[in-house]
Structure formats: structure tokens, C-alpha cells
Homo-oligomer: A and B are copies of this chain.
Amino acid sequence: MDGMRQSDKGRRKPRADAVRNRERVVEAARAVFSAGGPEASLEAVARLAGVGIGTLYRHFPTREALFEAVYRREVQHLAELAEQLKQEAEPVEALRRWMRSNVKFVATKKGMSAALALAAYNNSELFSYSFDRLTRAVGGLLDRAIASGEIRSDIKPEDLLRALIGMCYMHDQPGWQTSVLRLVDVFVDGLRIRPDTPRAKAKPRKSR
């Protein structure tokens, strides 16, 4: 992996300042949208990034394009987190932590979540890409936990993801975060095959 010589058929190498500025803008956008929600001023984003408004618009012609870049970045982070947890924790614990991180992700970025929901709403390719990416990420954790024999085997990654999304939709009621974190724990415990309950040990109910 020494570069992109071939894939960018004959193009000149992108200018270093352009790459740097693009990155700065995305990072600034993440911060500004987190704080101010999806309606936040783009000029504020440019200001925080330390670039001119024209630069922002060249990289991201529309507000949605900027949302999208932030979205992909966040999805990427969650996917990478899954990989990392695979190495740091035992199977079931890794799964639990990943789900909890998801909840916190929604929690700490109130405004952002709205922006991201909006972005996904208006861009089905982005939505299915993300859903897919996250499904694969959680699929890895899930397979591992199933292989270890600690949890039941009739759960699909999509189910788990959908359950998580559904649970987070509760956001904003007074103690929602605590409540959802508890739900996650309950859910993960529910996945577990209890060695101390002999009846129907891991009996995969007819597998359908």
C-alpha cells in the first residue's frame, strides 16, 4: 500500500494543502453540528476550520455533502471500534461494549444525531452503505461470540442492529441513556446461554 499511483489513472497527485483543509473542515463540521444541530451556520464551520467560505464550498458543494462526509467518518469509527474490541475483550464483553458505545455515541452528539438522521434520510445510498458497514462490523463480533459457544446462534446481525436503533429512538426522555444502557445489558444477558439452567440448554428452537 504505497500510494494511489495506479488507481487515479494518470491524475496529478492531490495538493497537500487541499487534503489538509478538507480534513480540517470535516472535523470542524463534526464539532459545530454536534453543538448546534444540523442547522448550524456553514460560515461558522469555515471559521472554526480556519479556511475561507469558498474553500468549504469547493470541497462540499452542499450542506448535505458535508453531512455525508461526517456521517461516513463516524460510521468508520464505529466499525473500527468493533475491530479493536475484538482484540481487547472477550467475545460477549466485546459485544456488550460495542452496543454501549453506540448508545453513548447517540447521547453525546445530540445535534449531530439529528443531522445524521437527516443525511441518511435524503440519501438512500449512504443509508444502505452505513447499515451494511455496521451490520458487517457487528456481524464480526457476533460470530465470534457465537463461535465461543457463549450465546445463542439464531440471532442475525441485522436484528441486533435494528434492536439497537429502535432502543435509541427512545432518546431524550429524562433518564433515557441509563434506561437504554440497562436494556442493552439485559439484551446481552438474554443472548447468553446460561450454563446453570439445564433445561433446553442452547436448544436452537427449530432454527427458523
State the A residues within 8 Å of B (CB): 37-38, 110, 113-114, 117-118, 120-122, 124, 127-128, 131, 162-163, 165-167, 169-174
Contact = CB atoms under 8 A, between A and B. Distances in A.
13 contacts: A114-B121, A117-B117, A118-B118, A124-B174, A127-B173, A128-B173, A131-B170, A162-B166, A165-B166, A165-B169, A166-B166, A166-B169, A169-B169
Contacts of A163: 166
B37 A122 contact: yes
Nearest to A110: B121
Contacts of A169: 162, 165-166, 169
**How many copies of this protein are present in the complex?**
2
A189 to B, nearest CB: 13
Interface SS majority for chain A: helix
A115 B118 CA distance: 9
Nearest to A120: B172
Contacts of A122: 37, 114
Given A114-B117, A114-B122, A127 B172 contact: yes
A170 B165 CA distance: 10
Contacts of A118: 38, 114, 117-118
A113 to B, nearest CB: 7
Nearest to A173: B128
A127 B172 CA distance: 8
Contact of A121 (B113, B128, B165, B167): B113
A172 B124 contact: yes
Nearest to A162: B166
